[in-house]
Chains A and B, each alone.
Chain A
Amino acid sequence: MTLTERLREKISQAFYNHGLLCASYPIPIILFTGLCILACCYPLLKLPLPGTGPVEFTTPMKDYSPPPVDSGHKQGDPSDQPEWYVGAPVAYIQQIFVKSSVSPWHKNLLAVDVFRSPLSRAFQLVEEIRNHVLRDSSGTRSLEEVCLQVTDLLPGLKKLRNLLPEHGCLLLSPGNFWQNDRERFHADPDIIGTIHQHEPKTLQTSATLKDLLFGVPGKYSGVSLYTRRRMVSYTITLVFQHYHAKFLGSLRARLMLLHPSPNCSLRAESLVHVHFKEEIGIAELIPLVTTYIILFAYIYFSTRKIDMVKSKWGLALAAVVTVLSSLLMSVGLCTLFGLTPTLNGGEIFPYLVVVIGLENVLVLTKSVVSTPVDLEVKLRIAQGLSSESWSIMKNMATELGIILIGYFTLVPAIQEFCLFAVVGLVSDFFLQMLFFTTVLSIDIRRMELADLNKRLPPEACLSPAKPVGRPARHERQLAVRPSMPHTITLQPSSFRNLRLPKRLRVVYFLARTRLAQRLIMAGTVVWIGILVYTDPAGLRTYLTAQVTEQSPLGEGALAPMPVPSGVLPASHPDPAFSIFPPDAPKPAENQTSTGEPSGPMGPADSVHDSPVPEVTWGPEDEELWRKLSFRHWPTLFSYYNITLAKRYISLLPVIPVTLHLNPREALEGRHPQDGRSAWPPARPGTIRGGLWETSPEGPGGAQAHGDVTLYKVAALGLAAGVVLVLLLLCLYRVLCPRNYGQPGGPGRRKRGDLPCDDYGYAPPETEIVPLVLRGHLMDIECLASDGMLLVSCCLAGHVCVWDAQTGDCLTRIPHPGQRQDSSVGSVFEAQESWERLSDGGKGGLEESGDSPPLRHRPRRPPPPSLFGDQPDLTCLIDTNFSAQPRQQPPEPAQPEPRHRTSCGRARDSPGYDFSRLVQRVYQEEGLDAVHSPALRPPSPGPALPPAPEEEGGLPPEKGSPSLIWAPSADGSIWSLELQGSLIVVGRSSGRLEVWDAIEGVLRCSSEEVSSGITALVFLDRRIVAARLNGSLDFFSLETHTALSPLQFRGTPGRGSAPTSPVYSSSDAVACHLTHTVPCAHQKPITALKAAAGRLVTGSQDHTLRVFRLEDSCCLFTLQGHSGAITTVYIDQTMVLASGGQDGAICLWDVLTGSRVSHMFAHRGDVTSLTCTTSCVISSGLDDLISIWDRSTGIKLYSIQQDLGCGASLGVISDNLLVTGGQGCVSFWDLNYGDLLQTVYLGKNSEAQPARQILVLDNAAIVCNFGSELSLVYVPSVLEKLD
């Protein structure tokens, strides 16, 4: 034993034990694992959230100097300075923060007055700043020298061309709205309109123009009609390129001097440096998104392979959770041990997942699932684990090795990646072993409990598209099947996969979930919500107004207003409303609390009357820029094509400026329109109409305008939604074949996916026991039925007639040759005597016809082809066997299927005990002598299958010494038809025989042509025989007494067959040859069907012909196949379908002879074809059964058949399809392609594929199953037919 083997055994043993453990204590283990995950993830809390948010670093103002450009950062304390703090910043930003108020407030001041004159002061301030010059010993220094000179706006920003400075210093102030032109400002009737004209309507996270110019967040600016505080704040933003302490100091001093701020507590001490991370642009996002798409595809394809479990989704989720939490754990662990991740997490994440992979999880699942089902869950898990242990360990070692190699690339990033990957792999292994295995065991246990008894046969869930894992399932299949031979298995619902094309499945999914409609609805709601919220006439302003009105501060000022009070419950300014930004000024706490009147001007009114806008400076003002969007600065600089990515800017401490204006100044600054237009009794409908008596006209007009647009937009949106819905509806209609829209279809689909719902009944839990009909010695070749009777013919030439209801054998017509030397004197002897006569006459001729050059039906199983070239070897074999017990194959131990032996009740036949056999044979001969011949009346009643007759039906030649058998007898039976009680037999010799099914006598025969009859049609007393030489013969049957079809009686045909003296007195059945189409086809006719007064022939010469039945007139020759026709279907509704050796199916219009559709169906011959009202079902040599939509010719789905059972299919109703398999028949739901039931036909039947299926009227199915026939009743279908 080598080391590897020992190692292998050890590992396997360890895994086995581990599996036992996991399956035994699932819950504690899962809890433990969860705790582990949480513990390992705990360090993650300390990590900053990933994102592109800026990083700050603060340095003291004093003695500041820009950090050195290069590499010096190592020498300092590394924890002190961030890595990026190298070199000079992109810019220094100086904000001059202006707070201004009009005080004392006067009652006859308008709302505009709150901000009009304070804003006008901005121009003055800007002037002051621009003109500031530092004069000191080193000379004069003006602003132009230190500020950041900008050259040009980006070409794409034409809109902002007049608003942002395009040359010179980058200096921003609200005055930029008016191009820094005071006159313009004064001439502007609608300030707010001007300010807001560039505001985007949608929700916006990045900086807007208003924010840029005002330098404060919108809601702090106070420029609004509804502000409470009547204090306006804005900043003048100056951008410096160089840090010039003296200049800055002088500017600050001068401004402070000019506009003193009395109670300013700002400590202008520190400089804040803000570093901006790399921007994630579209260019970066696209590859990122691509990798994530690939990742999801990978996960999808991986988890799709999870099969044969109770809950596929659950396990897939568990697998994904395993991988993800192992990643989290790896990051957490790495952080714990002091490794801080420097890589961009989002970027490397997909690669990590891909490297760690889901393979092990899948391997585990597959291996566990393929353990024998009957084992205990614990053992299954343990076995599955241990069988895959070696490969798991090997894979893991390999991956670790690869990663280790990666570690030696010595590239820091790759090393880090490898480190993460290693930790991730290990933790993934840990989780797989503990978490996933346990989840799997729970799943398996659930399945055990629920589905143990109704496990499906494995081939049902074996989707043909999945090549993976087939061997495992095959061995499983062998393990399961023998244990339940005769049970119906119902497919558990979780396995019922719809075998529809994906396209249809998508449409179904959309239709089922009404996804599109819901999405549209949700989208519309959100859209309307946004509109209502953001529109100037919308909710936001309304709410603002309400809040303002209710706030205690506003009481005094708003006293005279006619307010629709009580709309909102009176409340304190709700913090919730602070989410309504720019125009809802929420007073900062410190200012509301310190409501005391102050300022040099002094309050003129009482606190009550007018809340004095106290200008205070608190610490929060110091860094008001923090409240700006973090994209504020990057946006500003990006306008001038300066990127801040991976660079930093320095923010200088703000310079506070306080402006106090008295009412007179405010009045002076007023625009004529402000006062004049004062109060258009602003639309009474609007709540805000009377809210502010001082509301200017401008906004009012804007409101009206806004309302109209709102309605327009809403109407437009509604229309768009309707159009979309209609469009989707049309798409759905177009994509779906018509029948899906039929009533019943959708309803069924809605009701759930249980098969019982589909049919409106609960499938019976009882077992369907197939009725086995035994009696043939050789493989059964031809089958025919008319619903009441069933006729079968085997290779040996025996024809048996069975009662289709009970399965009793009614008559048995042995091969004519065997009766030649029958020694028993009986009716049969007499019958055979004339047969012998006829045979004698024709024997020489028929010999030549006995070897058909080609087989007329490709669906025939291989055995007949053996006999193809040899003249009736079958009979020889048969004769040899005739001395053996053939009725009853020895089956003493198996009473399960109700066997109906062909004749006789030799149920207790003891196998191959020859002594008893001989005894029995003698007894039966005695019986024969007593019963059958003597008691049988000359013309027995048709419905007379009592016991004695059956006994009598026992082939008398059994004991007879019929060993001398000339192979040149009659030719083998090539085709068989049954109607009423008449069997029409077409033989290879070209002889057409009409037999009485009940009595087993030959009624008439015709053998004018010696070419073998390849196909027969027997319809309404009309017989059409297609011959090997391509000719068609039309016969008509005439009876001389008008009797019901069941009672054809009479003398054998007078026409051609020699009359039998025994039956000469009975009613006559005559068979006349009415027409002959001598050369209907150039080559042998292989398919023949008749319906609706038409006869269709298909031939090897690649054509089809349509004949009229009455006068055998050829109506059409249909050309379109590129191979020999193998099968033809026609029904009463004149639907004609044909399949050929080229694998194609053609649908034809019988009325016009045109081809309706043409489908490439199979790789290989189409072996059989049938249609329902909505589909065409075809089978081919490729062992596939395909279901096509009849109207569109689109393939709906296909069913993989067992080898050699390709052609066996039958349609019971429009919904139910029967297919034959290896020793079983399966029932499928035609509409969905779901397997409903599988009926096994017997224990020893594994080797025998069900080759042929015939659907009877009472929905029983007969499949020739080797030498046996099985009758399978489908009780549920019977109910349904009732």
Chain B
Amino acid sequence: MPRLDDHFWSCSCPASERHKKHLRAGAGGLAAKVDHGAPHSSPSPRRHSASVSGHHCSSSRHANSWHHHLVQRSLVLFSVGVVLALVLNLLQIQRNVTLFPDEVIATIFSSAWWVPPCCGTAAAVVGLLYPCIDSHLGEPHKFKREWASVMRCIAVFVGINHASAKLDFANNVQLSLTLAALSLGLWWTFDRSRSGLGLGITIAFLATLITQFLVYNGVYQYTSPDFLYIRSWLPCIFFSGGVTVGNIGRQLAMNLNSSPHFS
């Protein structure tokens, strides 16, 4: 049973990321077709659409440098996504960790191989989407725009995951409420923009929806199909993850744009 649970945890993460991708595809004007069969087959068009839209919203005439920055940013975001996926996955697995290193090493890669890339891609997309929407709305994000704050945000996000993995809650309602409060607190502390809230909620909503969809299609399974447990856990994590990645993306966008001369 615990192993199944693990499997669920590990699957939920990529699932979420994939939804983000779908969301992104929709925003980019592409048909949001849900391709469960081959989730790994379509990163490049998505990347392309992301870069196209990023370019579009940049409205800069220096196309080359913009492409350069965009690629740089997506690479950074991608790696952040991969690392976060691995680490958080591990955090969720950890409850039932055994003593033996061999097995632990195995559990790191117990999830499907496409999980980290998907997470990375989704992180890149969301991280590019945030600054893009900011510039579309014409209100650049000014609140606490510095790397220290971003680091703090990441730490809090990891902390939320840590808490949800480690703490023993009395019941699932408590878990849900706590996580929701923590996520909102995260947003309020580090974002405080309406666009961020909206985007985060959208991401959480869509991601959860598509996770459900995938579950009904048999790609994943819930081990404990308690409505309040996992299904309330998911949106919170998606929300805070979206806010965090968006925070990173904004910072990256700002840094690369404001100081291109400082390599």
- Could you tell me which A residues sit within 8 Å of B by CB distance? 154, 156, 279, 281-284, 286-287, 290-291, 294-295, 297-298, 301-302, 305, 347, 350-351, 354, 357-359, 362, 402, 405-406, 409-411, 413-414, 463-465, 467-468, 501-502, 634, 638, 641, 643-645, 1143, 1160, 1163, 1182, 1184, 1186, 1195, 1198, 1200
Q: Which residue of B lies closest to A350 (CB)?
A: B155
Which chain B residues border A156 with CB–CB below 8 Å? 100, 102
Complex Cα distance, B255 from A301, in Å, reads 14
Q: Does B27 contact A (CB under 8 A)?
A: no
- Are the C-beta atoms of A351 and B159 separated by less than 8 Å? yes
Which chain A residues border B163 with CB–CB below 8 Å? 413-414
- Are the C-beta atoms of B99 and A1163 separated by less than 8 Å? no
Contact with A along B123-148 (1 / 0, CB 8 A): 00000000000000000000001111
Complex Cα distance, B162 from A283, in Å, reads 13
Q: Known contacts A411-B174, A468-B146, A1163-B65; decide if A282 and B101 are in contact (CB<8 Å).
A: yes
Pairs A-B, 3 closest by C-beta atoms: A298-B151, A301-B147, A301-B148
A-B contact pairs, 14 of them (CB 8 A): A287-B162, A291-B159, A291-B162, A297-B147, A301-B148, A405-B181, A410-B170, A411-B169, A464-B261, A465-B259, A645-B99, A1143-B62, A1163-B260, A1195-B261
Which chain A residues border B260 with CB–CB below 8 Å? 1163
- Given A354-B152, A464-B262: 14 more A-B contacts, CB < 8 Å: A279-B97, A281-B98, A283-B108, A284-B97, A294-B154, A298-B151, A347-B166, A362-B148, A405-B185, A411-B174, A413-B163, A413-B167, A465-B262, A501-B263
- B98 → chain A, closest Cβ, in Å? 6
Q: Does B203 contact A (CB under 8 A)?
A: no
Q: Which residue of A lies closest to B154 (CB)?
A: A294
Complex Cα distance, B258 from A1184, in Å, reads 12
- B196 → chain A, closest Cβ, in Å? 18
Complex Cα distance, B111 from A676, in Å, reads 61
- A343 → chain B, closest Cβ, in Å? 9
One of B146, B150, B152, B181 near A409 (C-beta < 8 A) = B181
210-263 of chain B: CB within 8 A of chain A: 254-255, 258-263
Q: Which stretch from B44-52, B85-93, B112-120 is at the chain A interface? A: B85-93
- Are the C-beta atoms of B148 and A638 separated by less than 8 Å? no
- Are the C-beta atoms of A294 and B90 separated by less than 8 Å? no
- Are the C-beta atoms of B181 and A347 separated by less than 8 Å? no
One of A281, A301, A1182 near B151 (C-beta < 8 A) = A301
Complex Cα distance, B146 from A465, in Å, reads 11
167-208 of chain B: CB within 8 A of chain A: 167-170, 174, 177-178, 181-182, 185, 189
Complex Cα distance, B154 from A354, in Å, reads 10
- Are the C-beta atoms of B83 and A297 separated by less than 8 Å? no
Complex Cα distance, B178 from A347, in Å, reads 19
- Are the C-beta atoms of B263 and A298 separated by less than 8 Å? no
Q: Known contacts A282-B101, A301-B146, A411-B178; decide if A402 and B189 are in contact (CB<8 Å).
A: yes
Which chain B residues border A502 with CB–CB below 8 Å? 263
One of A295, A305, A634 near B155 (C-beta < 8 A) = A295
Q: Known contacts A409-B174, A413-B168, A465-B259; decide if A641 and B100 are in contact (CB<8 Å).
A: yes
- B263 → chain A, closest Cβ, in Å? 5
Q: Which residue of B lies closest to A500 (CB)?
A: B263
Which chain A residues border B146 with CB–CB below 8 Å? 301, 305, 468
Complex Cα distance, B163 from A347, in Å, reads 10
Q: Does B42 contact A (CB under 8 A)?
A: no
One of B104, B148, B162 near A302 (C-beta < 8 A) = B148
Complex Cα distance, B103 from A641, in Å, reads 11
Q: Does B209 contact A (CB under 8 A)?
A: no
- Are the C-beta atoms of B178 and A414 separated by less than 8 Å? yes
Q: Which residue of B lies closest to A405 (CB)?
A: B181
- Are the C-beta atoms of B152 and A283 separated by less than 8 Å? no
Complex Cα distance, B98 from A156, in Å, reads 15
- A525 → chain B, closest Cβ, in Å? 30
Q: Which residue of A lies closest to B105 (CB)?
A: A282
Complex Cα distance, B100 from A281, in Å, reads 8
- Are the C-beta atoms of A294 and B151 separated by less than 8 Å? yes
- Are the C-beta atoms of B100 and A297 separated by less than 8 Å? no
58-98 of chain B: CB within 8 A of chain A: 62, 64-65, 83, 86-88, 90-91, 93-94, 97-98
- Are the C-beta atoms of A287 and B152 separated by less than 8 Å? no
- Are the C-beta atoms of B100 and A154 separated by less than 8 Å? yes
- A358 → chain B, closest Cβ, in Å? 7
8-42 of chain B: CB within 8 A of chain A: none
Which chain A residues border B158 with CB–CB below 8 Å? 287, 290-291, 294
Q: Does B107 contact A (CB under 8 A)?
A: yes
Complex Cα distance, B259 from A641, in Å, reads 56
One of A284, A294, A1160, A1198 near B65 (C-beta < 8 A) = A1160
Which chain B residues border A645 with CB–CB below 8 Å? 99
Which chain B residues border A358 with CB–CB below 8 Å? 148
- Are the C-beta atoms of A643 and B99 separated by less than 8 Å? yes
Q: Known contacts A290-B87, A291-B158, A410-B174; decide if A1198 and B94 are in contact (CB<8 Å).
A: no
- A28 → chain B, closest Cβ, in Å? 32
Q: Which residue of A lies closest to B144 (CB)?
A: A359
Which chain B residues border A1143 with CB–CB below 8 Å? 62
Q: Which residue of A lies closest to B185 (CB)?
A: A402
Q: Which residue of A lies closest to B259 (CB)?
A: A465
- B68 → chain A, closest Cβ, in Å? 8
- A157 → chain B, closest Cβ, in Å? 10
Which chain B residues border A281 with CB–CB below 8 Å? 97-99, 101, 104
- A177 → chain B, closest Cβ, in Å? 24
Which chain B residues border A638 with CB–CB below 8 Å? 99-100
Which chain A residues border B108 with CB–CB below 8 Å? 283, 286
Complex Cα distance, B152 from A284, in Å, reads 21
Which chain B residues border A1182 with CB–CB below 8 Å? 261
Which chain A residues border B259 with CB–CB below 8 Å? 464-465, 467
Complex Cα distance, B190 from A357, in Å, reads 13
Which chain B residues border A301 with CB–CB below 8 Å? 146-148, 150-151
- B189 → chain A, closest Cβ, in Å? 7
Complex Cα distance, B163 from A353, in Å, reads 16
- Are the C-beta atoms of B101 and A357 separated by less than 8 Å? no
- A649 → chain B, closest Cβ, in Å? 14
Complex Cα distance, B189 from A1125, in Å, reads 50
Which chain B residues border A282 with CB–CB below 8 Å? 101, 104-105
- Are the C-beta atoms of B90 and A286 separated by less than 8 Å? yes
Q: Which residue of B lies closest to A279 (CB)?
A: B99
Complex Cα distance, B97 from A351, in Å, reads 23
- A964 → chain B, closest Cβ, in Å? 49
Which chain B residues border A1160 with CB–CB below 8 Å? 62, 64-65
- Are the C-beta atoms of B99 and A291 separated by less than 8 Å? no
- A776 → chain B, closest Cβ, in Å? 34
Complex Cα distance, B100 from A1225, in Å, reads 67
- Are the C-beta atoms of B148 and A347 separated by less than 8 Å? no
Which chain B residues border A350 with CB–CB below 8 Å? 155
Q: Which of A298, A350, A358 has the most CB of B within 10 A?
A: A298
Complex Cα distance, B167 from A357, in Å, reads 23
Complex Cα distance, B231 from A464, in Å, reads 47
- A886 → chain B, closest Cβ, in Å? 41
Q: Known contacts A287-B94, A413-B167; decide if A1163 and B62 are in contact (CB<8 Å).
A: yes
Which chain A residues border B185 with CB–CB below 8 Å? 402, 405
- A1184 → chain B, closest Cβ, in Å? 5
Q: Which residue of B lies closest to A344 (CB)?
A: B166
Q: Known contacts A291-B155, A294-B158, A1163-B260; decide if A634 and B181 are in contact (CB<8 Å).
A: no
One of A354, A1195, A1200 near B159 (C-beta < 8 A) = A354
- Are the C-beta atoms of B154 and A347 separated by less than 8 Å? no
Q: Which residue of B lies closest to A1122 (CB)?
A: B64
- Are the C-beta atoms of B152 and A357 separated by less than 8 Å? yes
Which chain A residues border B97 with CB–CB below 8 Å? 279, 281, 283-284
Which chain A residues border B167 with CB–CB below 8 Å? 411, 413-414
Which chain B residues border A357 with CB–CB below 8 Å? 152
- B240 → chain A, closest Cβ, in Å? 14
Complex Cα distance, B148 from A362, in Å, reads 11
Complex Cα distance, B258 from A286, in Å, reads 34
